[in-house]
Amino acid sequence: MTIDINCDMGESFGQYLIGNDAKLLPYITSANIACGFHGGDPVHIDETIRAAVKQGVRVGAHPSYPDLAGFGRRYMAMPRKELVATIKYQIAVIKALTESHGGKLGYVKPHGALYNRAAVDEAETLAIVEAVGSIDPSLALMGLAGSTMEAVCKREGVAFVAEAFADRSYEPDGTLMVRSKPGSLITDPASAAAQVLSIVLKKAVPVGMQGATISVFAQSICIHGDNPAALDILKMVDKMLLENKIQKRSFVD
């Protein structure tokens, strides 16, 4: 049994350090690299890609709305043409930088509000599909398991990687709990690792306070790089996967 572990990285910019990429990289198999529109600057992005390629971690582009001030977590209603061009621009940068280090871009995972919008909005997903296809039709799209995005990608013949989360709480409809709600971000390593095991072994995640669960069929599990407990969570996940004889492996290997 195998599972891909991914993490959002390269999000530091200027004097603002976000996450701890160097310490997190050894524990993951796929890295979602910021493209400069929600976080990341040329130096941090390039250094993170170089380190990921060196360690054999799969590189993915992590495009967002042009929302640096809001860290890409605010929805922006953009004309289709502008949205497609914005996403293309971001993917192209990560693809070129990855190739400059002898690597190959493997997938695209929208960030923040763009990710959440595409999970429920067919038009938003189609704009992302158009952007990705115009850069490299072989690239996979990573998105929320069981979402509108997954359904659209399957209908359009686009390779899709179904994703679940170790450090986010879920609503009963399968969407992620909004970050403004208490408990939306899981920071306890044991709880996050238990959620990973539930996803891998039981194909389910807990919802609410009554012991209820919802079905989730995921190929990759995310831990957010800007989660203050990310390193401790990844260490605990590593321990529990080892104890349960579950191997970490990139979904495209």
Residue-wise pLDDT tens digits, 35-88 = 999 999 999 999 999 999 999 999 999 999 999 999 999 999 999 999 999 999
> Which pLDDT value is given to residue 5?
98
* Crossing angle for the helix pair 80-100 and 42-54, to the nearest 10 degrees: 50
Task: Give the amino acid at 140.
Answer: A
Q: What pLDDT shows up at residue 179? A: 86
Residue ranges in the chain whose pLDDT is less than 70: 209-210, 252-253
Rounded (5°) CA angle 220-222-224: 165
CA separation for the pair 112, 71 (Å, rounded): 8
At 183 the pLDDT is 86
**Gap between the Cα atoms of 132 and 135, Å rounded:** 5
3-state DSSP assignment of residue 23: helix
CB 141 within 8 A of CB 173: no
What DSSP string runs through 154-201? HHHT--EEEEEESSB-B-TTSSBPPTTSTTSB---HHHHHHHHHIIII
H or E stretch covering 41: none
CB neighbour burial string for 201-237, b if at least 16 within 10 angstroms, e if fewer:
eeebbbbeeeeeebebebbbbbbbbbbebbbbbbebb
Token reading at 12: 């530091």
> Is the CB of residue 188 less than 8 Å from the CB of residue 229?
yes
pTM comes to 0.94
Phi, psi torsion values for 239, nearest 5 degrees: -60, -45
- Sorted by sequence, the CB contacts under 8 Å of residue 154 that are 6+ apart come out as 160
Superfamily of domain 2-169+218-226: Glycoside hydrolase/deacetylase (3.20.20.370)
* Predicted local distance difference test score (pLDDT) of residue 88: 98
Domain range annotation of the chain: 2-169+218-226
User: Got the DSSP string for 142-155?
Assistant: EEETTSHHHHHHHH
